[in-house]
Each structure stands twice: as structure tokens, then as C-alpha cells.
């Protein structure tokens, strides 16, 4: 079994956390085909994404306290097994309602990976170290969305969309075995919390009323919502509107992932020179520039693939810089309740993202305008959240330069 600070432990945690992105990105090229097979509209098909995210959000509120009581490993393993069973149900679905139900069950199991992966990093490292490790972990995880749409497109073209869910189920079972036998339990025994309703409510109240936590969580949720708006609308915009072949969708999607990895690597490089706050504000400005450019092009009637992909790539550079800093900042004040803090953080992130996804589905007008405007709005709102909350109430060690110099 690996040591907790081993680079291989970080890689395995990244692989476990990657189940969440895989469950959305791999089947993006299949969304138009699923709609045609089931005779469903864009808004119904998009619910398989948004309700997955909503279920993912709620399930984290359960996973976090359970992990604070019983440890990270058993909850993560159980989640992977449930995800695998639900994936088989998705593959066998014969109508859109059954698929949506099985996607919600997938979310209940899949939530264990991301929420407990974040908690494990907080268990192992200090807050400042965690920001750097989370950036490294995000860079490794980016391999999943980089290759997932391409694999999904090939599976759709050759075996049909149900093969995507069979592949996801097999991946979940492999990760259950890897976590069981490859990673030590990262949680200290003395940090275990009682599993009583009054204790859970007290913990969540303590976390949810922390202004610093709220600021980092809201900033993260809004910038992540811009990413999810792209995930929700990109297949309909690129495949249905702009005529990209499903098997080529992943190649354009990879450009976005390159932007995200560039942002992660930039955050890692700047981590030794700048404070997390300085990296965070730079990332937000870049994200606003990318989102604003895409919206301006769409509103100006510039409709082509690169008018979508290049601005989104720039947005993702900023996102790659923002997400690790906000994750580490949100968990900084709660070393004894890292599971519950990570759960509430994830709930806020996914709940806000689900709203953005539903808006994209219901307002979609057959062009790229709705998706682009929502991405730009999310980026601007994230910057406003930073200025109003994070900058005024930073986490310890995350203070702006002017404050830290005093």
C-alpha cells in the first residue's frame, strides 16, 4: 500500500475523482443520438445532465458526514459500487425517464469520489500545500475530459450510446478495487465525528455561516457553472448547429481541456511566487475575458466552431487557475470537519451548476448565443463574488498581498 504523500497516491486520488467528469464528458457526443432514439427534446435530454448534477449535489451532503464518522475509504468504495450498478441500468434503459432515474442513482454513488478526494487532500496537507496539490490533481484529472468525449464519440459511432455506460461501470469497479487495496485511510482517528443529527446540523451550521467559506464556495460554484453551461450546450451547438461529426467532437473538446491544464500548470508555477489570492484574481480576469469574447462573437452573429472553442479555451485557462485556489480556501478553516466542509462545498458547486445547465437547455435557441451569454454571466458573477466576499474575508494564509504585508 502506498504512503499518503506519495505522488502515486495523488495520481490514484485523481483517478478516483475523475469518475465525476467521466460521467458527464464521455457521453456528451451521444446526447443528440439519445434524443433521437427516445424521441425526446433538447430540454428532456439535458435533464440527464442537470438532474445528475442535482443528485450529485444532494448526495454529497450525506457522503461527507458518513466519511467524517467511518473514514474516507469505505464510503468511497461503496459509492463506486453503487455507481457501477446504476451505469448498467443506464445502458439497459428503454426510455428517457428510466435513463434520468438511473443517472440520479449514478450521481448518488459517483459523488463519493470528488467529495472524499478533496477531503483526503485536506487530511494530508496544510491549506497552502493543498492549493498546490489540488492544482496538480486537477492537471492529472484533466486527462479524463481530454480523452473522454473522443472515446464516447467512437463508442457511439461503433457500438451505440449504451456502450458508454458499460465502460463507465467497469471503470467504477476498477477504482473500487484500487481504493480498497492501493490507498491508506487518510483520516486521523481522533478527527472522527459522531453520526448524530444534532452534531451534523451543528457542523453544517458552523461551516455554512463562515463568511470565508461562503465566499470561496460561491466564487468556485459560479466559475464552475460557466464550465457546466458549456458541457450542457456544447454538443447541441457544435454537432447540431455547427455540423461537427460526433467522432470529431472530442478533438475540439480537447482544446478546452488544454486551456484548463494550462491554467492548472500556471497556478502551480505561480504558487511559489504569488499568494493564492493573487493567482485567484488573475484567473478570474482571464475567465471574464474568455466568456465576454464568446458572448460578443455570438451576439454579433459570428457562428463558427472557432468562435466558440477559442474563447472557451481562454475561459478554461482562468478556470484552471481559480478552482484549486477556491477549493483549498473553502476547506482551510475545517481540518476536523473536512468531509462535511467538502460536502457542503460540493453541494453548492453542483447546485448552482445544475441551474446553469437547466437554463441552457430551456433557453437554447438553436444557436450558440444562449450558451455564450450564460458563460459570460457566470464569469462576471464569480468576479463579483470574489470582490464582495473573498477579498474581504480571506482564509488564513490566503490574504491579499496588501493585507499580508501589514
Is there a domain that residue 204 lies in?
Answer: yes
Say if 273 falls within a structural domain: yes
How large is the average pLDDT for residues 165-187? 87
User: Residue 157: its pLDDT value, please?
Assistant: 83
Under 8 Å between Cβ of 399 and 390: no
pLDDT score recorded for residue 400: 62
pLDDT of res. 92: 92
Average pLDDT over residues 237-242: 87
- Nearest-angstrom CA–CA distance, 276 and 274: 7
Is the confidence at residue 140, as pLDDT, over 70? no
pLDDT band per the 50, 70, 90 thresholds, residue 183:
confident
Q: Is 149 within a domain? A: yes
**For 198-219, what is the mean pLDDT?**
89
Q: What is the mean pLDDT of residues 177-191?
A: 79
Q: Give yes or no for residue 406 having a pLDDT over 50.
A: no
Question: How far, in Å, CA of 82 to CA of 105, rounded?
Answer: 8
pLDDT at residue 69, as a whole number: 80
Segment 357-386, tens digit of pLDDT: 888 878 888 899 999 999 999 999 999 999
184 sits in the region (left: phi over 0; alpha: psi -120 to 50; else beta) called beta
Looking at residue 118, which CATH number applies to its domain? 1.20.1250.20
The answer as to whether 263 is a domain residue is: yes
When pLDDT is averaged across residues 250-260 and rounded to a whole number, the result is 83
For the chain, how many structural domains are there in total? 1
Compute the distance between CA of residue 361 and CA of residue 54 in angstroms, rounded to an integer. Answer: 15
What share of the chain has pLDDT > 70, as a percent?
A: 93
Q: Which residues of 318-329 are buried (b: 16+ CB within 10 A; e: fewer)?
A: bbbbbbbbbbbb
The pLDDT-based confidence of 124 (bands split at 50, 70, 90) is confident
Mean pLDDT over each residue of the chain, to the nearest integer:
84
Residue 152 makes CB contacts below 8 A (sequence gap 6+) with: 25, 26, 27, 28, 29, 30, 164, 250
pLDDT recorded at residue 402: 45
Please give the angle made by the CA atoms of 215, 217 and 220, to the nearest 5 degrees: 105
Kindly provide the b/e burial profile for residues 362-378, where b requires at least 16 CB atoms within 10 angstroms of the residue's own CB.
Answer: eebeeebbbbbbbbbbb
> How many C-beta neighbours within 10 Å does residue 269 have?
12
Question: Which pLDDT does position 4 carry in this prediction?
Answer: 63
Q: What is the mean pLDDT of residues 293-321?
A: 95
Residue 403 lies in a domain: no
Whether 104 is covered by a domain: the verdict is yes
Q: Which of 390, 32, 401, 53 is nearest to 212 (CA)?
A: 390
Domain that holds residue 18: 7-187+195-395
- Rounded mean pLDDT of 72-93? 91
Of 21-35, 75-89, 370-384, give the lowest mean pLDDT range. Answer: 21-35
pLDDT at 404 over 60: no
Q: At what angle do helices 369-385 and 305-331 cross, to 10 degrees?
A: 30
Asked if pLDDT for residue 192 goes beyond 70, the answer is yes
- The whole-number pLDDT of residue 141 equals 62
Q: CA-CA distance, 157 to 159, in Å (whole number)?
A: 6
Residue among 257, 9, 1, 231 at smallest CA distance from 120: 9
Q: Residue 399 region, left (φ>0) first, then alpha (ψ -120 to 50), else beta?
A: beta
Residue 129: all three cell numbers together: 500545500
Predicted pLDDT of residue 35: 86
Please report, rounded to a whole number, the percentage of residues in the chain having pLDDT higher than 90: 32
Residue whose C-alpha is closest to residue 93's, from 161, 24, 169: 161
Long-range contacts of 334-338 (CB under 8 A, 24+ apart): 334/122, 334/207, 334/213, 335/122, 335/191, 336/191, 336/193, 337/68, 337/193, 337/203, 337/206, 337/207, 338/68, 338/118, 338/119, 338/122, 338/123, 338/187, 338/191
The pLDDT of residue 403: 40
Distance, CA of 15 to CA of 142 (rounded, Å): 10
Q: For residue 28, tell me if it sits in a domain.
A: yes
Top mean pLDDT of 21-30, 157-166, 282-291 is at 282-291
Does residue 406 sit within a domain?
A: no
Percent of residues in the chain assigned helix, strand, coil, to nearest 5: 85, 0, 15
List, for residues 95-104, the tens digit of each pLDDT value. 888 999 999 9
Residue among 314, 47, 80, 312 at smallest CA distance from 182 = 80
Amino acid at each position: 500500500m502506498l504512503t499518503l504523500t506519495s505522488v502515486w497516491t495523488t495520481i490514484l486520488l485523481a483517478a478516483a475523482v475523475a469518475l465525476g467528469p467521466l460521467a458527464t464528458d464521455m457521453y456528451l457526443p451521444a446526447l443528440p443520438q439519445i434524443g433521437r432514439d427516445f424521441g425526446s427534446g433538447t430540454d428532456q435530454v439535458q435533464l440527464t445532465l442537470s438532474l445528475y448534477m442535482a443528485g450529485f449535489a444532494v448526495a454529497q451532503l450525506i457522503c461527507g458526514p458518513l466519511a467524517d464518522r467511518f473514514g474516507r475509504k469505505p464510503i468511497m468504495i461503496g459509492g463506486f459500487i453503487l455507481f457501477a450498478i446504476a451505469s448498467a441500468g443506464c445502458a439497459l434503459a428503454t426510455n428517457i425517464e428510466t435513463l434520468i432515474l438511473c443517472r440520479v442513482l449514478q450521481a448518488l454513488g459517483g459523488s463519493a469520489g470528488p467529495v472524499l478526494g478533496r477531503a483526503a487532500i485536506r487530511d494530508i496537507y496544510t491549506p497552502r500545500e493543498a492549493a498546490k496539490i489540488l492544482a496538480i490533481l486537477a492537471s492529472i484529472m484533466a486527462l479524463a475530459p481530454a480523452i473522454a468525449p473522443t472515446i464516447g464519440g467512437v463508442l457511439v459511432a461503433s457500438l451505440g450510446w449504451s456502450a458508454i455506460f458499460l465502460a463507465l461501470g467497469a471503470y467504477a469497479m476498477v477504482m473500487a478495487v484500487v481504493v480498497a487495496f492501493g490507498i491508506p485511510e487518510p483520516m486521523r482517528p481522533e478527527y472522527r465525528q459522531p453520526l448524530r443529527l444534532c452534531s451534523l446540523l451543528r457542523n453544517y451550521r458552523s461551516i455554512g455561516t463562515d463568511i470565508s467559506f461562503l465566499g470561496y464556495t460561491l466564487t468556485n460554484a459560479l466559475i464552475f457553472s460557466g464550465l457546466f453551461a458549456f458541457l450542457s450546450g456544447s454538443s447541441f451547438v457544435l454537432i447540431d448547429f455547427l455540423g461537427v461529426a460526433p467522432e470529431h467532437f472530442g478533438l475540439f473538446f480537447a482544446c478546452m481541456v488544454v486551456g484548463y491544464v494550462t491554467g492548472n500548470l500556471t497556478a502551480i508555477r505561480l504558487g511559489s511566487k504569488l499568494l493564492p489570492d493573487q493567482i485567484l484574481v488573475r484567473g478570474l480576469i482571464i475567465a471574464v475575458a474568455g466568456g465576454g469574447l464568446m458572448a460578443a462573437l455570438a451576439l454579433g452573429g459570428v457562428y463558427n466552431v472557432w468562435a466558440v472553442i477559442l474563447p472557451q479555451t481562454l475561459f478554461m485557462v482562468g478556470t484552471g487557475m481559480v478552482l484549486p485556489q477556491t477549493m483549498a480556501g473553502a476547506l482551510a478553516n475545517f481540518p476536523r470537519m473536512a468531509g462535511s466542509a467538502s460536502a457542503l462545498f460540493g453541494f453548492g458547486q453542483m447546485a448552482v451548476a445544475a441551474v446553469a445547465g437547466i437554463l441552457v437547455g430551456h433557453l437554447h435557441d438553436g444557436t450558440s448565443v444562449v450558451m455564450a451569454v450564460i458563460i459570460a454571466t457566470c464569469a462576471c458573477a464569480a468576479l463579483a463574488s470574489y470582490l464582495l466576499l473573498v477579498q474581504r474575508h480571506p482564509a488564513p494564509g490566503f490574504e491579499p498581498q496588501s493585507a499580508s504585508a501589514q
